[in-house]
Structure 1
Amino acid sequence: MKNWLRKHPEVRTIRVAAADLNGQPRGKRVPTRFADKVVEDGTRFPLSVLNLDIWGEDIDDSPLIFDSGDADGVLRPTERGFMPMPWLEAPTALLPIWMYREDGRPYDGDPRHALRAIVERFKDLGLTPVVAMEMEFFLIDDSGRDLRIPISPRSGKRRKAAETMSIRALDSFDTFFTDLYDACEEMDIPADTAISEAGLGQFEINLMHCDDALRAADDAWLFKMLVKGLARKHGFAASFMAKPYEDYAGSGLHTHFSLIDKNGNNVFDDGTPQGSKLLHQAIAGCIHAMHDSALIFAPHSNSYDRMVPGAHAPTGICWAYENRTSAIRVPSGSPKARRMEHRVAGGDVNPYLLLTAILGAALIGIEDRLDPPEPITGNAYALDLPQIPDNWEKAISAFENSDIVKRIFSADLVRNFVLTKRQEMFYMNELTPEEQVEIYLDTV
């Protein structure tokens, strides 16, 4: 890590940052001359900092604050190391960190540690998750009272239309996307294909599959920071909020997932289009946990505006082969690439909690040898299916009282997340829809 800074003498300051439960980066600015101390000794801030609400406020009833004296945690660099922050004017480096207790134990309330624990449980079975994530986001002109698509730097025009898979829409913001891909190269984020999507000013960039789930979650977290920061540098906003426009589709964060054994073989592949018994067990676990995990997939008030029938977001709990109306889709193609696509989450999620929920549910399906229901055919919206919770209150209660959630997440994290969401719900109810959009636009 120290060598990276020595190779980049132009860097004058660093940021050390960890993801809180909402996926917000929390940390410090440090002069470069003190960076060696951070690398060697870590840094400190209160455990409660990873349990702030969306406004960055303390949680009123949190036992992490006054009941415990607001004790510090010790934050150490992750294996990711230093990377540039190309959206800032001054040369700056980011050092991702994660939280430990004073005695060296991982802090259970850190979402990155939650994912680590699930990955280690797979490792005990001789299995490694392989994941890829599809990142949908909006480019937005938020300079006026109403949200609009930005003016194209190329044409000087503002096209108020959804342009699904339009080359023209991509070319309209070619300078932004060129800078974005260059920045992904600098930060070693594996950005692949870009397309324009069905929403107003909406785009999607796929992150390549990775056999390190922690790194995949890092990539998604860093990508969200990069896109939002770089858009501001170009004079407009970018947002991963689930549904900024009432009349257009919202943003999802679809996750593709397979498992490999110690020899690198895909254990979801049995040479047939149907996939292996392990694939079906993993699907069964995800189906079993989907209702109670909805708070992870839809963590904000605005999340539930996206999850309505016919809006390109699943509402029924089901799975299918090659069917984008289902919550879990098994794509067609070569058996060697057999995988599931989990389609429930919005773009506003915390990537660490998202992968923990999906991989943890799949693991339970494998451990308990569960069988899934029959795959559906046709339009899932038209079928009589068990439903994903359709509002915030239902999702919070389901998450809080779930036995299967407790098998995936630590008791501390469940408690902290529920307290956070109940506080947010209380204060969000006091805001107008426009005020809610304003807070979500820049945060999620």
Structure 2
Amino acid sequence: MPAPSSDWLREHPQVRTIRAAACDLNGVARGKRMPARYAEKVVTDGTRFPISALSLDIWGEDIDDSPLVFETGDRDGVLRPTERGFVPMPWLEAPSALLPIWMFREDGRPYDGDPRHCLRRVVERYKAKGLTPVVAVELEFFLIDDSSRNLQVPISPRSNKRRKAAEILSIRALDAFDQFFTDLYEACEAMDIPAETAISEAGLGQFEINLVHCDDALRAADDAWLFKMLVKGLARRHGFAASFMAKPYEDYAGSGMHAHFSVLDDEGRNIFDDGGPKGTDALRHAIAGCLEAMSDSALIFAPHLNSYDRLVPEAHAPSGLCWAYENRTVAIRVPSGPPPARRIEHRVSGGDVNPYLALSAILGAALNGIEDGVEPPDPITGNAYAQDLPRIPDTWGAAIEAFEASKVMPRIFPEELIRNMLLTKRQELHYMAELEPHEQVEIYLDTV
């Protein structure tokens, strides 16, 4: 991908304001707004803000005991544009553009606490072996009327009715919000986000959109991060909320971010393809790596208190550590289809994840398995919820402890990011316990 330039702004003179933003640990965009005429300086020289800004808690507050704040004088990092360059922000009334940026140290070294740099490191591990991961994500979200404490499906602009029911694969449910989805696809085109199929899902007012597979994992994570920002912003323009929180409704399924991936060798061949339905040794090794790291990385896949309401049996989300062919009750699914498209579907992540960290954890664990040549347990058959299986941590506190004690996570994540994640999540765990359930939902609804 070419380096960003200011040509885009000259080609879009109607754009008057710029947001330069990086992704923090919670997936929240942190950055600055400026008039477009000052954007050239950011493109050429970058911009600066405190290193600690990428490790704020979910409220946007400093971490009380972080060494990034007072201990080091809350020093600045240097933020430079990513390869993505400028993208429009169609959810705003005034013509505006977003310039994605990522953080470096003063001496030019990448900042290890930046989630995007974390994924870059994983991709470089693949490149060193002549391998390229090919990634696609499926993102589920809810459309919500949050005008009162009682969350509910928005009134359809077409029928002026509110249908309080889950409608799996319902065309009627999609058509009820036709203008929103029409605007969403047009905005994705403008932002160069490869949005493909949309379906209605099992939750109340829940939908899913697939993003097309990409042989650039950083680009795939960028797409997911920008897509979440777009969906939430555009919904507000339509008079309701959109949320990727894991489970806004107790009695309905939650939202996930399923990640599909295969791996190409240096000649472009899929190393998971053996010409048949079972897949290669490399496929099994990658599955074994993912399973081995799954409990330790639960904090990445389920980063918030609400995340654990989704990971319960018989709620369309995995709870047991297992894999299978063509089975949606498991954590790791190998879909059917043509052998050249043989791939792994990792089904654990909630919609509330940071896409950079989630793909780092998934791809890093898979590469660990490939490097180590480890074998997974046998694939299961039947309903995983009804079987006696090792379990993914079922509480936030247990996931924090597993992440801290892990011997696997340091193979994937840099020490600084692990430290920052633990400090951030412990602070959130403490303060979330002081809130009423409706106050917790208010925090998560718009932020994640």
Give the TM-score taking structure 1 as reference length.
Answer: 1.00
2:99 aligned residue: 95
Describe how 1:127-166 pairs up with structure 2 within 5 A. Answer: 127-166=131-170
> In the alignment, which of 374, 377, 384 is matched to residue 373 of structure 1?
377
> In the alignment, which of 9, 12, 25 is matched to residue 13 of structure 2?
9
Q: Is the 8 A contact 2:257 2:349 kept in 1?
A: yes
Q: Is the 8 A contact 2:247 2:309 kept in 1?
A: yes
2:243 aligned residue: 239
Describe how 1:140-219 pairs up with structure 2 within 5 A. Answer: 140-219=144-223
> In the alignment, which of 341, 344, 360 is matched to residue 345 of structure 2?
341
Give the unaligned 5+ runs of structure 1: none
1:393 and 1:83 map into 2 onto residues whose CA distance is 38
Letter in 1 for 2:349: A
Give the root-mean-square deviation of aligned CA atoms. Answer: 0.4
1:276 aligned residue: 280
Q: Does 1:325 align with 2:329?
A: yes
> In the alignment, which of 385, 390, 398 is matched to residue 386 of structure 1?
390
Tell me the alpha carbon deviations over residues 227-282 of structure 1, each in whole angstroms, 9 at most, x when there is no partner: 00000000000000000000100001000010011121111001011101111110
SS state at 1:403 partner: coil
1:12 and 1:272 map into 2 onto residues whose CA distance is 54
Letter in 1 for 2:406: S
2:371 and 2:436 map into 1 onto residues whose CA distance is 45
Letter in 2 for 1:147: L
Q: Is the 8 A contact 2:149 2:438 kept in 1?
A: no
SS state at 1:269 partner: coil
SS state at 1:67 partner: coil
Aligned residues: 444
1:185 and 1:264 map into 2 onto residues whose CA distance is 28
2:18 and 2:266 map into 1 onto residues whose CA distance is 38
1:60 aligned residue: 64
2:157 and 2:129 map into 1 onto residues whose CA distance is 52
Letter in 2 for 1:232: R
Letter in 1 for 2:313: P
Shift, 1:200, TM fit: 0.3
Describe how 1:286-301 pairs up with structure 2 within 5 A. Answer: 286-301=290-305
Identity %: 77
Q: Does 1:311 align with 2:303?
A: no
1:9 and 1:261 map into 2 onto residues whose CA distance is 43
1:368 and 1:271 map into 2 onto residues whose CA distance is 24
Give the unaligned 5+ runs of structure 2: none
Letter in 1 for 2:447: T
> In the alignment, which of 20, 24, 44 is matched to residue 20 of structure 1?
24
Tell me the alpha carbon deviations over residues 206-232 of structure 1, each in whole angstroms, 9 at most, x when there is no partner: 000000000000000000000000000
Q: Does 1:442 align with 2:446?
A: yes
Letter in 1 for 2:391: Q
Q: Is the 8 A contact 2:174 2:200 kept in 1?
A: yes
Q: Does 1:417 align with 2:435?
A: no
SS state at 1:26 partner: strand
Letter in 1 for 2:439: E
SS state at 1:416 partner: helix
Q: After the TM superposition, which segments of 4 or more aligned residues of structure 1 sit over 6 Å from their partners?
A: none
Letter in 1 for 2:318: P
SS state at 1:109 partner: coil
SS state at 1:427 partner: helix
1:182 and 1:299 map into 2 onto residues whose CA distance is 31
Q: Does 1:253 align with 2:267?
A: no
Shift, 1:145, TM fit: 2.1
Shift, 1:169, TM fit: 0.2
1:61 and 1:366 map into 2 onto residues whose CA distance is 38
SS state at 2:103 partner: strand
Letter in 1 for 2:98: L
Shift, 1:44, TM fit: 0.2
SS state at 2:64 partner: coil
Q: Does 1:395 align with 2:409?
A: no
Tell me the alpha carbon deviations over residues 1-41 of structure 1, each in whole angstroms, 9 at most, x when there is no partner: 21100000000010000000000000000111111100000
1:60 and 1:171 map into 2 onto residues whose CA distance is 47
1:261 and 1:405 map into 2 onto residues whose CA distance is 25
2:34 and 2:407 map into 1 onto residues whose CA distance is 42
> In the alignment, which of 37, 42, 46 is matched to residue 41 of structure 2?
37
Tell me the alpha carbon deviations over residues 312-338 of structure 1, each in whole angstroms, 9 at most, x when there is no partner: 010000000000000000000100100
SS state at 1:413 partner: helix
